[in-house]
Amino acid sequence: MRKLVFALVASATLVASTAAFAAEAAAPPSQSWSFSGVFGTFDRAAAQRGYQVYKEVCSACHSLSQIRFRNLQDLGFSEDEVKALAAGYEVTDGPNDEGQMFQRPAKPADRFVAPFPNEKAARAANNSAYPPDLSLMTKARKDGANYVYALLTGYGEPPAAAKLMEGMNYNKFFPGNQIAMGQPLNPEQVAYTDGTKATVEQMSHDVVTFLAWSAEPELEARKRLGVKVLLFLLVLTALLYAVKRKVWRNAH
């Protein structure tokens, strides 16, 4: 009985200390995003640069399973550019006439190709950590865009009192301040085709813009519809008020 009580107390202490440690993550500071607000839209140039960052850096570990290559046309890529981008990947298709699966160049209608065939392969290549799919990342996290930006820019040397577990990296914005993913972005890691200087902050801002689009590609259409609905309701309200005054103007 005494051992059981001791074990329960030890477990409670461990949970409490873990919760306290996890609560030490700093709150992500707010950034300026083109897609924020009622009239917000995606900055096409930033989103295209963000796709370049995803393709050259993030796609080595993270999938983007909800996006098809043809969706990139919404960001300003031409049909020929999308075909060329898709053709740089191979996908499994089939079966063929012999009943065998085969590899072929990807087409615009195909989804983005995952970097690993399955979760076990992903964990084996990443020290048992599983890189999450990024399709809905900015919606899956509280204050998603600001959080992902803060995470990408929050790496640094741990405080002297901090003790990191083996294979972990210090990040002041990650719960517990320890993250398995090493710092993914470094200055000039990507050579932007438009000549923009690739600082860590710039790349982080661009890739978050791209991920925000991937999570809500319908955002602009939804906002336009919302504005139209509000205008319609305002006009309808004015008409109803005018009708009401006309109907009841002679009433005593």
Percent of the chain scored above 90 by pLDDT?
77
Q: Give 188-228 pLDDT, tens digit per residue.
A: 999 999 999 999 999 999 999 999 999 999 999 999 999 99
Contact 55, 205 (CB under 8 A): no
Helix (H, G, I), strand (E, B) or coil at 178: strand
Which tokens in the block code for residue 23? 């609560």
Per 3-state DSSP, what percentage of the chain is helix, strand, and coil (rounded to 5)? Answer: 50, 5, 45
Cα-flanking dihedrals φ and ψ of residue 119, to 5°?
Answer: -65, -40
Residue 76 has pLDDT above 70, yes or no: yes
Helix (H, G, I), strand (E, B) or coil at 16: helix
For domain 19-67+111-216, give the CATH number. Answer: 1.10.760.10
**Average pLDDT over all residues of the chain:** 89
Q: Pinpoint the alpha helices (H) of 26-136.
A: 44-56, 79-87, 119-125
More confident of the two residues 165 and 45 = 45
Which tokens in the block code for residue 196? 């923009």
Cα-flanking dihedrals φ and ψ of residue 42, to 5°?
Answer: -80, 130
Q: Give 135-184 pLDDT, tens digit per residue.
A: 999 999 999 999 999 999 999 999 888 888 888 999 999 999 999 999 99
Residue 1 has pLDDT above 90, yes or no: no
| Whole-angstrom distance, CA of residue 175 vs CA of residue 252 | 68
Q: Give 47-72 pLDDT, tens digit per residue.
A: 999 999 999 999 999 999 999 999 99
pLDDT value of residue 252: 62
| Whole-angstrom distance, CA of residue 242 vs CA of residue 237 | 9
Residue among 31, 25, 55 nearest 144 (CA)? 31
Q: What pairing do the DSSP bridges indicate for beta strands 90-93 and 178-179?
A: unpaired
